[in-house]
Copies of this chain bind each other. A is one copy, B any other.
């Protein structure tokens, strides 16, 4: 299973990892490949988690919530879902362009995701959204540290 997740990560992440996969470079100084690894494995994982949360929040809001109506389209809830989708998209973008400011967008992303998870739990019937938001909050909190 652990192995499986790594394969998954590699297949999806499309980044060049350093051989050790991460202890924060660990890149072989003898390695002469012209293309350097773009980022370490922690960041690659956080990008995945952010994009997964972006997908889940956006599609849940624009499909499940719109079709369910009622509490699901209450302005405060719906705006939170859309804000969550947008900050996840932006945080992934900041990591992909490799700007040191990704720490700040990740910190904000962690806060919005935590709030969104809580709100979705209260309203109910959005388990995937709760999981995606909680996973993203945790991953972004570490990235922001």
Which residues of chain A from 69 to 105 have a CB within 8 Å of any chain B CB? 69, 73, 75, 78-80, 82-83, 86-87, 89-90, 92-94, 96-99, 101, 104-105
Q: Please indicate the chain B residues that have their CB under 8 angstroms from the CB of A36 in the complex.
A: 63-64, 67
Q: Determine whether the beta carbon of A87 is less than 8 Å from that of B87.
A: no
Instruction: Decide yes or no whether A132 CB sits under 8 A from chain B.
Output: yes
Contact partners of A15 in chain B: CB under 8 A:
55, 59
> A62 near B86 (CB under 8 angstroms)?
no
28 residue pairs bridging A and B, Cβ less than 8 Å apart: A1-B7, A7-B8, A8-B12, A12-B48, A13-B55, A14-B55, A16-B128, A34-B67, A34-B68, A35-B68, A35-B125, A39-B63, A55-B92, A58-B97, A62-B78, A62-B79, A62-B82, A62-B96, A63-B98, A66-B73, A80-B99, A82-B99, A83-B101, A86-B90, A86-B93, A86-B97, A87-B101, A89-B89
Closest 10 CB pairs of A and B: A83-B99, A8-B8, A4-B4, A62-B97, A38-B63, A66-B75, A14-B56, A59-B96, A90-B90, A58-B96
